Every structure is written in structure tokens, then in C-alpha cells.
Amino acid sequence: MTAHHRGWMLSRREFAAVPAVLTGAALNGFSQTAPLTAGQVVDRIKEHLGVPWQGGPTDTFKTGDADTPVTGIATTVMSTFDVIKRAAAARRNMVITHEPTFWLGNDDVRGFANDAVYKQKLQFIRDNNMVVWRFHDHLHARQPDMSAVGLAEALGWAGYVSKVEPRVYVLPPVRLRDVARDIEQRLRLPAIRVVGDPQLTIRRAALMQGTAPFHMATVLPNVDLVVAGEQREWEGVEYAFDANTAGMAKGLILIGHWVSEDQGMRLCADWVKSFVSEVPVEWIPAGDPFWRP
């Protein structure tokens, strides 16, 4: 064998060592693949959001650590203790919630340090290595708003949206009583609250999911019906009632805050799945907290 050939050829001992070396390197490479963390999930949400991230105290981690490895993701409108327990049972240790976890607007828990419910809920979250992150302001900032689209789909109204006013739906003529019954059945609710003449003909309706602001009063003159999550009874409810007394026939249907926005978190789960493939993602509905005796 020439010296030239010997310069690039391997000895038998060297050749035999190659598979072991390559196998070790491959295994070492796989072992160094880091699991997906909660912080990385949030980073991807920001990346795919489509609108600038504004920060603020609302859309932040409410419990848990951004470095926590994620085994699965659950989206929900309200991170109730029940939802958190169901998420833990399904090994979805990251909960993306639309509304607060600890009962106040920005989850200010300073007054709950000795509260028995708070302590038990928080301990369960910690014992199960869970993370809760809120997605509220920036979800509403996306257009179209997933919570509005989700509710319209659930009601069967998606094809009736006005081309001029995105909150308004131009419906085939229907009585208020009948549209209320249809909403109740489609959303599988034990009961809803209705203001207005049951025989009122509805042609134009507005959806105002969540807590409808009082500016619904400026919407009412343009529509026959407002379907909202909830309203203060001394604001929009009284305005709708007074409008009927004044001879301006209007309808108001309140379906509940959770119910009105939970369908948006169903769409949120589908959206998150489009850019998170490492772990399962599912919607866990909070349901309706009320029942009718």
C-alpha cells in the first residue's frame, strides 16, 4: 500500500470505532433536544399574533414559571378550579385562559393570602406543576376577533354578518321568542335572560360577547336585538327596558359571560395548533356555572 493511500485509509481498529462514535454522537444530539417551555409557547403566540404586542399587566403568567416544560396545552375562557383539574387529569399542564384565575381583573391576590379557596387552588396548581397564562387584551386586538367569530359560528349566524358593521348580523325575520329559544338550544343553556316583547320581529342583531360596555346603548337604535354576555342591570338592562317603555321596541338577550366567549377559546386552540406541534393542544370549555331549579 502506498503512503498516499495510507494517508486517508483507516486502520481496522479505527474503522471498528466509527459506528460507536457516530451512534454516541447521535444519541448525544437527541438527548440535548430541550422540551418545549411555557415561555416558548408564549413567544410563538406573540410571533403569530398579527398585531404588535403591547405588554401590560393583563396578558401575563398568573401562576407557574415560564421555564416549565409543557406536556400539553388547554385553552379556556375561565381557568376555574374545575377546568384546572380537568386539564391536569389530561396532562395539559399549561392553561391559556381568557379571563382571570383568581377572581379580580389582573389577578391581584394580595387580599387572598389567608383565603381557603385561594390556598387550595394555588396548591393544586403547584402540586401538578402547572402554568396559567392569560390571553385577553391581545386576543381581542386580533381581527377578526376570535371570540366574536366563535360565538357567531355557534349560533349559526356566521353567514349573516353585515359587510358594513362587523358586530351586526342581518337575519331572516324571526320573533324574539324564537331566536331566544334557538340560542338557548344551540348553546345548550339551562336558561337565558331576555328583555323585550316576545313577539318582536328581529331583522338586525348585534353580538357583544363578554361584558358589553354601556355604549351598547348607542348600538340599540341601529338594531332590533343585542345578544350580550352580561350587563349591569342599572346600565344596559335598564336602557333596553326603558326603550321598550318609550315605544322603541328592542330586544336584549343575556347568555352569560363565560358562554359568550368560550367559543373564541375553541378557535384559539385550533390557532395555537397551527404553530405548536410538539405537544397536544385542546379546548376545555368552562361551561355555564348556573343551573335552573
> Do 132 and 268 belong to one domain?
yes
> Do 273 and 219 belong to one domain?
no
pTM score:
0.86
pLDDT mean values, one per 10 residues, the chain (293 residues): 43 47 43 84 97 95 96 98 98 98 93 96 98 97 94 97 91 98 96 96 95 75 92 90 93 96 98 98 96 89
Residue 5: inside a domain: no
> Do 151 and 244 belong to one domain?
yes
> Do 66 and 206 belong to one domain?
no
What is residue 188's predicted lDDT score, i.e. its pLDDT?
94
Residue 236: inside a domain: yes
Give me the DSSP letters along 216-277.
HHHHGGG-SEEEEEE--IIIIIHHHHHHHHTT---EEEE--HHHHHHHHHHHHHHHHHTT--
Domain that holds residue 226: 146-254
**Contact (CB, 8 A) for 103 and 62:** no
Residue 267: inside a domain: yes
Which amino acid appears at position 139 of this protein?
A: L
Q: How far is CA 161 from CA 154, 168, 171, in A?
A: 13, 6, 9
Torsion region of 247: left, alpha or beta (phi above 0 gives left; psi -120 to 50 gives alpha):
left
What is residue 191's predicted lDDT score, i.e. its pLDDT?
87
Residue 70: inside a domain: yes
Residue 33: inside a domain: no
Question: For 204, what's the count of Cα atoms within 13 Å in the CB-facing half-sphere?
Answer: 14
> Do 108 and 168 belong to one domain?
no
Report the alpha-carbon distance of residue 117 to residue 222 in Å, rounded: 44
Q: Considering just the CA atoms, what is the radius of gyration of the chain in Å? A: 27
What is residue 30's predicted lDDT score, i.e. its pLDDT?
43
What is residue 220's predicted lDDT score, i.e. its pLDDT?
74
Residue 30: inside a domain: no
> Do 70 and 153 belong to one domain?
no
Q: Is the dihedral of CA 42, 46, 49, 55 positive or negative?
A: positive
> Do 180 and 155 belong to one domain?
yes
> Do 243 and 196 belong to one domain?
yes
> Do 278 and 202 belong to one domain?
no
Residue 271 maps to which CATH number?
3.40.1390.30
Q: Which residues does 186 contact at the CB level (< 8 Å), separation at least 6?
A: 154, 155, 156
Residue 58: inside a domain: yes
> Do 179 and 212 belong to one domain?
yes
What is residue 14's predicted lDDT score, i.e. its pLDDT?
47
> Do 208 and 276 belong to one domain?
no
> Do 195 and 128 belong to one domain?
no
**Contact (CB, 8 A) for 256 and 189:** yes
Report the alpha-carbon distance of residue 175 to residue 275 in Å, rounded: 43
Residue 128: inside a domain: yes
Domain count, the chain: 2
